[in-house]
Amino acid sequence: MQYSDMAAKMAAGNGFIAALDQSGGSTPKALKGYGIEEGAWSTEEEMFALIHEMRARIISSPAFTGDKVLGAILFERTMDGTVEGISTPQALIAKGVVPFIKIDKGLEDEVNGVQLMKPMPTLDVLLERSKALGVFGTKERSVINSANAAGIAAVVKQQFEVGKQVLSHGMMPIIEPEVNIKSETRAECDKLLLAEIIKNLDELAEGQQVMLKLSLPVVPGTFDPLVTHPKVLRVVALSGGYKRPEACVELAKNQGIIASFSRALLEDLRAQMNDAEFNASLASAIDEIYKGSTQKTLAAAAV
């Protein structure tokens, strides 16, 4: 797939994006969910080797194809690794899956109800290396914990600044200002976030597009103006802590938004499964998320 093929698939393909990008801090939790306890490794390198084995098993599974999985977001170490002897991005492309790379380096402490991204001083180098490996786009995450207008404006401003840096390298940014689903002011956060995103989209140069990764809104249809915005290639949703069944129900209420799930995709997979069990469990998860992404409810259609 060339860049134009990947862009076309992301714009109009039926399916969802798999998030396989748990980084250093969240890796032990991801491994525990997979049935591997912390005592199974003694060094960071061994820990990352174990999580790469899990991801390689997913990517090489016959259930994981571009028919339903449009794209996959990778952690940097996963991008640099191999799957069955092929570089991970090329292994994805061979299966018809568009590769993305997580570029943020974690979150700052909370200020004004939000957590901005930490500085990324070597981002240009990472973008050049990622593009050379065949990676289509990036993903960068901030967190919104409360409905503070100044904080939300700062999050979106930073996200778009990074997004423009990604665009300058000829890559597609996924902008992810996550609203914490435990926030007591989620609905107001959604409204403030929508206004700030539209403001920043309108300031993009003519012909530029970004992707958006958002928490599922409290009120279905809230993000409809983003789904139809000419400067948005695709809107995807994170599971944000919801279990898969609930995440898929909420997803199906929102027209035009597809999934980009991590925990909700992996929650039933275990290292102890044999290949038949593993592939069947993964196929079931993929089918459920695919349905939530492509078969919308009547409630969504009525919004």
Q: HEC profile for 91-113? A: HHHHCCCEEEEECCCCECCCECC
Quick one: pLDDT at residue 298? 62
The dihedral region occupied by 142, where left means phi > 0, alpha psi between -120 and 50, and beta the remainder, is: beta
Contacting residues for 164 by C-beta, under 8 A, at least 6 apart: 204
Which candidate, 175, 170, 264, 266, places its Cα nearest to that of 226? 175
131 is catalytic: no
Phi, psi of 175 (to 5 degrees): -90, 125
**Radius of gyration from C-alpha coordinates of the chain:** 18
The predicted structure's pLDDT at residue 303: 43
Q: Looking at residue 299, what is its pLDDT? A: 55
Residue among 68, 213, 253, 296 flagged as catalytic: 213
Q: What is the pLDDT of residue 59?
A: 97
CA distances from residue 147 to 154, 159, 240, 288 in whole angstroms, order as listed = 12, 17, 17, 32
Residue by residue, pLDDT tens for the chain (303 residues) are: 899 999 999 999 999 999 998 776 778 888 999 999 888 999 989 998 999 999 999 999 999 999 999 999 999 999 999 999 999 999 999 999 999 999 999 999 999 999 999 999 999 999 999 999 999 999 999 999 999 999 999 999 999 999 999 999 999 999 999 999 999 999 999 999 999 999 999 999 999 999 999 999 999 999 999 999 999 999 999 988 889 999 999 999 999 999 999 888 999 999 999 999 999 999 999 999 999 999 998 654 444
Taking each continuous run of H as one helix and of E as one strand, the counts in the chain are 13, 11
What dihedral angle (degrees, nearest 10) is formed by the CA atoms of 175, 180, 184, 189? 0
pLDDT of residue 24: 63
- Gap between the Cα atoms of 246 and 263, Å rounded: 13
- Kindly report the backbone phi and psi dihedral angles of residue 172, in degrees, each rounded to the nearest multiple of 5, phi listed first: -100, 115
176 is catalytic: yes
CA dist., res. 274 & res. 24, Å (int): 27
Euclidean distance between CA atoms 102 and 85, whole angstroms: 22
Q: Is the dihedral of CA 118, 126, 205, 230 positive or negative?
A: negative
What's the burial of 6, exposed, middle or buried (CB within 10 Å: 0-12/13-18/19+)?
Answer: buried
**pLDDT value, residue 301:** 44
Q: Which residues contact 98 (CB under 8 A, 6 or more apart)?
A: 1, 6, 9, 10, 66, 70, 71, 72, 92, 136, 137
Paired with 59 in beta bridges are none
CA distance 219 to 240: 16
- In whole angstroms, give the CA distance from residue 163 to residue 144: 18
The residue from 9, 95, 140, 176 that is catalytic is 176
Strands (E) located in the chain: 16-20, 69-74, 82-83, 86-87, 98-102, 114-115, 137-144, 172-179, 210-215, 232-238, 257-261
The number of beta carbons lying within 10 Å of the beta carbon of residue 212 is 25
With vertex at residue 68, the alpha carbon angle to CA 240 and CA 263, rounded to the nearest 5 degrees, is 25
